[in-house]
């Protein structure tokens, strides 16, 4: 019997090696077709008396990334179709569909013949749940091995037996930690948790897996044997009496109750450990069906799984432009940002020239990469050889002539129009005719900077976020004359350095910073109103933001806000900045010398480590304080999220952002907009545009006209539209 996605080879010992190797895919993923074939393979090996056991492995460099996009989309499509056809049976159909993988894996583990999973590279989600259903698990000790159940990060949870098998192998605390955080495990850590049996050298993976079967591996799981007890004794033990009352409280502290999928993990484990295994699977299936119907799951899966993959694969790349191959990239400006850009470029295997005014400044820029490499080697994340290779790709120099053969030049000098003009002219004096020139700028409009260029159609903005080596988002900014080749080259470069791009049209602050400035501006309003600073910061975290607006302002620098205000007044007039905000930052910067984290003091004080930062006590003396009991935290949360979402809607109305996927992904990756919402526009769509408009009108009456809903939002509310229907990516692609 032949299969499209698997091959089977039985050796002289009667051990069948099942190799999963999907054609035309860089990584194996679960699809309906893959599950159908695996189902038939189980039947085939059971029926073949010559087969004594099965080893399943991957023919690729990684085992599997889990479920495919089409399967995830299919669950939502099925529910929608079922609700339209027969609402009474819709949930039942979804329940049956979500159980397909669960009961396929159960069939595998009860088939009567031993199965061993031989894990190489990445083994995530459903692929690890399948491995857990195997009777034996062997993992490679290569650094590329990452074992995880990361479903909670996209709004769902391990729903194919993960919540039942993991706590029956590992202790409940470790199991909960792994699943509620979605954290990755090395092979060694997985073995220490009892989730894999052996960790071996990569070339010993298959022999070790086969040896387990030769050594008499039982084709029965521990939980299917009489007298089985979960590690630690299960739920009704003294240890559990300490764990379970604390677990929901810890989860609420970490998530503020915003992630239904994370809470469902606790419920599945707690309830499942008290019943027979198959009953536990039914409990898990029930909760998984429920979670799939939540707004949070739909929005998170769409933005953090589907949209991110689509954008990463070039959804916005112009058609018909040949793909760029980067033999050499140049970065002009070896300060913190430029040095960081050079590092990520070299980390992608691309030779990079790092230019500054003199050799000393250029060498200092390379020293930044040397520091990052040393840190990575020290933490075991990089080998010494890989570090040396990375550093060898960075050439620091003050010589502009070295740009002559660069495919892409990224200007990353000081945020000053005059300086950027001088540098642009120096670059173009030696730049190859077909090369692309990009400016890394966080606020200066690209169209204006392109006026300094002799070829504005080959000039584009590439906005990185700090720290560059950790932040996954890059804003690609189109000037009015930017051509398709420049856009395609920029997107190819972002793909090469393994980051996610969003494409935005030109405006002051672009997309991400416009939203960030609104977030911080609302915090200024709250301070001025007398809301205690601690309540502002805590409300933001309760709303799902990773850091409060005052802490974020310290990170980007309070004096930068001051400079931006002054630049806005100079360019657009005094009406462009709220005078109360100007007064606040002026007092902090000029009056108190509180410039932000870099100065050790801003809205927070930053004492020497290990002491933790704390809010500056002087904040309460700036404005008369409202009593905490008179502050409505729910309203604070609404204000902070709504003001950002409203700004995102404005960028869509103005044509700055044209694709809702980019607004959502950009807001989450760029500044951590409450991920459970799916992003700024999904936040609006999730509650309904009509409801959002009503919320904004209510807030506007009390907190200012900046909350007034825009004409676009009012029109969408009247027509019952959403951003994903009005600006449907699929419709635009077809057009």
CA dihedral 17, 23, 28, 30 (to 10 degrees): -100
| Contact by Cβ (8 Å): 331, 338 | yes
| Contact by Cβ (8 Å): 138, 227 | no
Task: Give dist(CA 91, CA 81) in Å, integer.
Answer: 11
b/e per residue, 258-280, with b = 16+ CB within 10 A?
Answer: bbbbbbbbbbbbbbbbeeebeeb
Task: Give dist(CA 539, CA 171) in Å, integer.
Answer: 34
Which DSSP symbol is given to 698? H
Which tokens in the block code for residue 6?
A: 């698997």
Strands (E), 586-732: 604-605, 614-615
* Unique residue bearing structure tokens 């607006």: 549
The SS3 call for residue 9 is strand
Query: Is 12 buried (19+), middle (13-18) or exposed (0-12) by CB count in 10 A?
Result: exposed
CB count within 10 Å of CB 529 equals 14
| Contact by Cβ (8 Å): 17, 51 | no
Task: Give dist(CA 101, CA 122) in Å, integer.
Answer: 19
Which tokens in the block code for residue 376?
A: 């990575």
Task: Give dist(CA 278, CA 200) in Å, integer.
Answer: 32
Q: What is the DSSP string of 441-470?
A: -SSS-HHHHHTTSS-GGGEEEEEE-SSTTT
Task: Give dist(CA 450, CA 460) in Å, integer.
Answer: 8
Task: Give dist(CA 172, CA 166) in Å, integer.
Answer: 8
Q: Which residues contact 193 (CB under 8 A, 6 or more apart)?
A: 169, 170, 174, 178, 185
b/e per residue, 132-164, with b = 16+ CB within 10 A?
Answer: bbbbbbbbbbeeebbbbbbbbbbbbbbbbbbbb
Which tokens in the block code for residue 338?
A: 């430029």
Which tokens in the block code for residue 111?
A: 């088939």
CA angle (515 as vertex; 256, 674 as ends), nearest 5: 20
Question: Residue 476: which H helix or E strand, with range?
Answer: strand 473-478
- Count, residues in the chain: 735
Residues tagged active-site: 463
């Amino acid at each position: 019997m032949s299969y499209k996605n698997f091959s089977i080879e039985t050796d002289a010992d009667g051990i069948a090696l099942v190799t999963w190797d999907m054609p035309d895919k860089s990584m194996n993923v679960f699809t309906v077709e893959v599950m159908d074939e695996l189902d038939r393979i189980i039947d085939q090996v059971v029926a073949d008396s010559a087969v004594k056991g099965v080893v399943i492995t991957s023919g690729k460099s990684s085992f599997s990334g889990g479920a495919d996009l089409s399967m995830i989309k299919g669950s939502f499509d099925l529910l929608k179709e079922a609700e339209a056809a027969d609402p009474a049976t819709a949930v039942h159909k979804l329940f049956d569909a979500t159980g397909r993988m669960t009961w396929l894996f159960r069939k595998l583990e009860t088939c009567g013949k031993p199965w061993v999973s031989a894990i190489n590279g990445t083994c995530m989600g459903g692929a690890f749940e399948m491995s857990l259903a195997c009777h034996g698990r062997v993992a490679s000790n290569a650094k590329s091995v990452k074992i995880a159940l990361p479903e909670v990060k996209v709004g769902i949870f391990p729903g194919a037996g993960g919540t039942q098998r993991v706590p029956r192998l590992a202790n409940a605390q470790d199991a909960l930690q792994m699943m509620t955080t979605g954290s990755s495990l090395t092979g060694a850590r997985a073995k220490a948790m009892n989730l894999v049996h052996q960790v071996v050298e990569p070339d010993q993976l298959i022999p070790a897996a086969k040896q387990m079967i030769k050594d008499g591996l039982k084709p029965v799981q521990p939980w299917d044997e009489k007298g089985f007890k979960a590690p630690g004794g299960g739920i009704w033990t003294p240890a559990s009496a300490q764990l379970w009352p604390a677990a929901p409280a810890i989860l609420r502290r970490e998530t503020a109750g915003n992630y239904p999928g994370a809470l469902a993990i606790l419920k599945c484990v707690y309830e499942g450990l008290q019943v027979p295994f198959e009953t536990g699977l039914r409990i898990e299936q029930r909760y998984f069906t429920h979670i799939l119907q939540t707004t949070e799951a739909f929005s998170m899966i769409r933005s953090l799984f589907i949209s991110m993959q689509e954008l990463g694969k070039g959804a916005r790349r112009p058609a018909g432009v040949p793909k760029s191959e980067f033999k050499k990239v140049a970065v002009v400006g070896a300060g913190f940002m430029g040095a960081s850009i050079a590092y990520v470029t070299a980390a992608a295997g691309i030779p990079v020239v790092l230019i500054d005014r003199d050799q000393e400044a250029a060498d200092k820029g390379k020293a930044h990469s040397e520091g990052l490499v040393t840190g990575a080697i020290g933490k075991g994340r990089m080998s010494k050889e890989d570090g040396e290779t990375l550093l060898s790709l960075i050439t620091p120099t003050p010589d502009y002539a070295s740009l002559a053969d660069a495919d892409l030049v990224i200007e990353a000098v000081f945020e000053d129009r005059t300086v950027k003009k001088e540098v642009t002219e120096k670059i173009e004096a030696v730049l190859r005719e077909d090369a692309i020139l990009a400016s890394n700028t966080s606020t200066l409009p690209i169209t204006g900077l392109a006026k300094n260029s002799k070829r504005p159609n080959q000039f584009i903005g590439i906005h990185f976020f700090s720290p560059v080596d950790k932040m996954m988002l890059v804003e690609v900014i189109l000037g009015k004359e930017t051509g398709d080749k420049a856009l395609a080259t920029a997107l190819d470069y972002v793909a090469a350095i393994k980051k996610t791009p969003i494409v935005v049209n030109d405006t002051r602050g672009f997309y991400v910073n416009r939203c960030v400035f609104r977030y911080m501006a609302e915090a200024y309003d709250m301070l001025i109103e007398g809301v205690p600073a601690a309540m502002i910061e805590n409300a933001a975290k309760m709303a799902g933001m990773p850091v409060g607006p005052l802490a974020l302002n310290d990170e980007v620098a309070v004096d930068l806000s001051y400079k931006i205000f002054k630049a806005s007044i100079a360019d657009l007039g005094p009406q462009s900045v709220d005078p109360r905000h100007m007064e606040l930052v002026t007092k902090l910067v000029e009056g108190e010398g509180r410039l932000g984290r870099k100065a050790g003091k801003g809205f927070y004080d930053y004492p020497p480590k290990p002491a933790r930062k704390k809010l500056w006590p002087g904040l309460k003396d700036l404005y008369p304080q409202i009593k905490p009991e008179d502050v409505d935290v729910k309203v604070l949360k609404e204000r902070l999220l709504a003001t950002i979402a409203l700004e995102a809607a404005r960028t869509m109305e103005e044509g700055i952002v044209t694709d809702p996927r980019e607004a959502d992904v950009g807001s989450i990756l760029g500044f951590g907009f409450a991920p459970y919402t799916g992003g700024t526009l999904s936040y609006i769509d999730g509650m309904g545009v009509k409801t959002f408009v009503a919320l904004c009108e209510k807030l506007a009456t009390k907190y200012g006209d900046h909350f007034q809903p825009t004409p676009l939002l009012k029109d969408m509310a009247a027509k019952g539209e959403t951003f994903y229907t009005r600006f449907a990516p699929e419709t635009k692609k077809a057009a």
